[in-house]
Amino acid sequence: MNGWKRSGRGARLRYTSGFSGEEAAVLRGLFTEVRQMLAGRAALAPEDELATLTGIRTGPTSRPTDRVLARLLPDFTSEDSDLAGGLRSLHEPALIEAKDQAAETVLDTLPESGGRLELTPEQADAWLAALNDVRLALGTALDVSEDMPEQLPEDDPRARHLGVYHWLTYVQDSLVRVRVQG
């Protein structure tokens, strides 16, 4: 991946890049894993007669116990735990759906064996949202912090994965930069 390029204007505006087969496989694996985590959380939503009648879905009221999911699905407020639970119940299903749809857009537009891809502005926005989620998930799993060195010792089990995290940062940053060009 050599960064993103912008071409065209107006309705013909596109963002292009290319990924090797290995890069595409890494991305597919990460996005699929995040989607599975989100689907597992969505499966915990209570069955509700009112939701069945009205079509208004509700989700769990408690924060995820898994710290990666808790990072992806943070509390909507920290002022009042009852209010936080109520807001979570009302809004978490839509948040999960939006995150899942963004990841699905990535999987739909990313050539399975790698290669060139071309995104519309809407698809580019979905890529940015999904890349952010994958970076948050991986960063949380690796305990990435501002104090963490750029490279870890080779014997640290997180070392290889930190390289992937930095690469995801580059992919996201490159797309942000061309996306905001006027």
| pLDDT the model gives residue 182 | 61
One pLDDT digit (tens) per residue for the chain, 182 residues:
889 999 999 999 999 999 999 999 999 999 999 999 999 999 988 777 767 787 777 888 889 999 999 999 998 888 888 898 888 888 899 999 999 999 999 999 999 999 999 999 999 999 999 999 999 999 999 988 788 777 777 877 777 889 999 999 999 999 999 999 86
Helix axes 81-109, 21-42, angle to 10 degrees: 150
Q: CB of 85 within 8 A of CB of 61?
A: yes
Cα atoms in the 13 Å half-sphere on the side-chain side of 155? 0
Where do the domains of the chain lie? 5-179
Burial 105-126 (b: 16+ CB within 10 A, else e): bbeeebeeebeebebeeebbeb
DSSP run (H or E) holding 174? helix 159-179
Q: CB of 4 within 8 A of CB of 17?
A: yes
| pLDDT the model gives residue 86 | 87
